[in-house]
C-alpha cells in the first residue's frame, strides 16, 4: 500500500515540495503517493484540505504524512489536530530564528517565491532568455557575455542544466553540441576556442546515451551503440587533451548536474 503524502502551502508549494521530497526520497523501500496543495490561505480552505487528510487516514488506517509551510498560526494549529503525521516546516525554524535575531517574524505569505526584488526578477528573466537563445549552438555571437558554456554530445543534459542554472541562479549559460562532423579528426571547434576559459564539458555513459537517443530516433545511426560509443570516447579524449573540466552526468539529476558544474567552475549565485 502506498503511503499518502500531502505537501501543503499558503503560497506556491515549491518549498514544501522541495523539503518533503528531499526527506521521503531517503526511504527507497516505501512507495509514496504525493499530493501538492498550494494557496491554503483561509480557514475554510484549510478545513476542506483537513477533510481530505482525515479521509485518507480513515480509508487506509495509516496516518498520511503532511509537510506544510503555512504562515498563519491558526491554520497551522488546525492541521496539527488532524489524523496525520504533521511536519510543520515553518514553525520548526522560525521560533529559533526569532530568538537568535531578537526580532519577531513578519509572518508574511509568499515571501520566498514572490517578486520581492524587481532587479533580481528581471535578471532571472534575462538569464532564462539568454539560455534559450544560446541553446544547442544556434547563436554563438553572444558567447562573450556567457558566464559558462556547456559542451558535450547530443542528449547528455546540456539544455535542461543551462535552463536550471538560469532560473535558479541567474547564470548566463549557453551550450554547444558536438555533431558527427565535429568528430572527424576531433578537435575543439574554432568558434569555441576564444572562450575556452568558459567551457565546461558533460559526458555520459554509452548505454544510457543510447537509451535516451533511441527514444528520440529509434533504429537510427544516431542512436546506435557504435555511434554513441564513438562520440563519447572522442569527446572525453578531447576534454583531456584540451584540459577542459567535465563531469559524467549519467547518475545525476539536472539539479545535481547544475550544482556540480557551478561548484567546479567557481561560479556564484547572481539572484
Binding residues for ADP: 152-159
Angle at 92 between CA 90 and CA 98, to 5 degrees: 85
- Residue 157, classified by CB atoms within 10 Å of its CB into exposed (0-12), middle (13-18) or buried (19+), is buried
The beta-carbon contacts of 81-85 under 8 Å, at least 24 apart in sequence, are 82/50, 82/53, 82/54, 83/53, 83/54, 83/57, 83/58, 84/6, 84/53, 84/54, 84/56, 84/57
Residue carrying C-alpha cell 567535465: 246
* CA-based nearest residue to 173, from 252, 257, 71: 257
Residues 148, 194: contact at Cβ < 8 Å? no
Residue carrying C-alpha cell 536550471: 164
Residues 57, 37: contact at Cβ < 8 Å? no
Binding-site residue positions: 152-159
Neighbours of 109 (CB within 10 A): 17
Residue 53 grid coordinates = 487528510
Amino acid at each position: 500500500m502506498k503511503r499518502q503524502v500531502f505537501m501543503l502551502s499558503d503560497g506556491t508549494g515549491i518549498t514544501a515540495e522541495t523539503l518533503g521530497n528531499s526527506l521521503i526520497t531517503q526511504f527507497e523501500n516505501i512507495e509514496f503517493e504525493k499530493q501538492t496543495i498550494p494557496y491554503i490561505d483561509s480557514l475554510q480552505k484549510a478545513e476542506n484540505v483537513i477533510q481530505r487528510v482525515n479521509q485518507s487516514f480513515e480509508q487506509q488506517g495509516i496516518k498520511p504524512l503532511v509537510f506544510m509551510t503555512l504562515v498563519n498560526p491558526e491554520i497551522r494549529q488546525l492541521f496539527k489536530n488532524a489524523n496525520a503525521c504533521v511536519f510543520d516546516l515553518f514553525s520548526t525554524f522560525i521560533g529559533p530564528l526569532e530568538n537568535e535575531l531578537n526580532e519577531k517574524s513578519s509572518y508574511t505569505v509568499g515571501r520566498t517565491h514572490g517578486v520581492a526584488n524587481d532587479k533580481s526578477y528581471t535578471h532571472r528573466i534575462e538569464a532564462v532568455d539568454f539560455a534559450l537563445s544560446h541553446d544547442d549552438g544556434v547563436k554563438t555571437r553572444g558567447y562573450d557575455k556567457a558566464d559558462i558554456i556547456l559542451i558535450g554530445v547530443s542528449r547528455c543534459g546540456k539544455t535542461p542544466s543551462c535552463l536550471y542554472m538560469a532560473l535558479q541562479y541567474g547564470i548566463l549559460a549557453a551550450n554547444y553540441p558536438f555533431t558527427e562532423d565535429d568528430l572527424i579528426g576531433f578537435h575543439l571547434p574554432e568558434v569555441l576556442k576564444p572562450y575556452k576559459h568558459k567551457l565546461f564539458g558533460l559526458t555520459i555513459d554509452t548505454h544510457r546515451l543510447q537509451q535516451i537517443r533511441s527514444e528520440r530516433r529509434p533504429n537510427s545511426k544516431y542512436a546506435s551503440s557504435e555511434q554513441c560509443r564513438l562520440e563519447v570516447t572522442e569527446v572525453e579524449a578531447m576534454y583531456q587533451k584540451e584540459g577542459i573540466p567535465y563531469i559524467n552526468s549519467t547518475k545525476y539529476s539536472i539539479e545535481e548536474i547544475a550544482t556540480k558544474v557551478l561548484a567546479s567552475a567557481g561560479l556564484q549565485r547572481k539572484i
